[in-house]
Structure 1
Amino acid sequence: MSGNDPRGKDGTGEGQPADDDLSARLKRLEMQIDRKRPAAAPDLSARQDRGQPSSLGVAMRLSTEFVAGVLAGGLLGWGCDRLLGTKPWGLIVLLVLGFAAGIYNVMRVSGFFPAADTKKGPPGS
């Protein structure tokens, strides 16, 4: 038998250690196990990096950018048709321009185009 057996030499259990001793041994064993156990990987699902938006947020922004461009073009075309009396042509032209603007916005937001440096002054200054 091992030296960790709480029973006495005759196996009757007369030599049982006190509860304090068992608790101390249990705590010591837990500490040894914790030291040898590798550190757990951080749970990324519970804590998102504050600097990076979630993929759902990015998808919603991209779709909103596209839909906003198309709707703005359509509404401006409809308004021009009502004011100028050019029935379908203002709507068609500005709807196509709104579609192109929506595509451009999606490409700009997704990082396809480099960000414009707005901190520069006018050229030649």
Structure 2
Amino acid sequence: MVDEDTRARMRALEEKLARRKRADAPTPKTGQGYSGAELAWRMVIELVSGLGIGFGIGYGIDSLMGTMPIFLVLFVFLGFAAGIKVMMNTAKSVYPGDETPDGKSGGTSAGDGKRDGHG
């Protein structure tokens, strides 16, 4: 059996651990550290790099096989799709959850759709 002194020490230790965990918890990543122009340029660069890589791969395959412009067109479209996908992932990482940048809920979460008391 555990005596009352041991229980009191365990409660004090649990409280101390809980305070330490709250202090060491990482801050959630939000869009507050980025300006709109930085995000816009990042997304433009992601899209253009996807297109450029697709163009390069398609042109390279077409040059080797002598089939201009079949693979060029195919890989430009694939690069465009990849660029859009990367842009969407960037937007999700900047605005986590199902909320839009203006703070309104997208409507499908289990929560109430509010963040930081706004909305």
Between structures 1 and 2, the one with greater helix share: 2
Asked which structure has the greater CA Rg, the reply is 1
Give TM-score, length-normalised by structure 1: 0.47
Higher relative contact order structure (alpha carbons within 8 Å, sequence separation ≥ 6): 2
Give TM-score, length-normalised by structure 2: 0.49
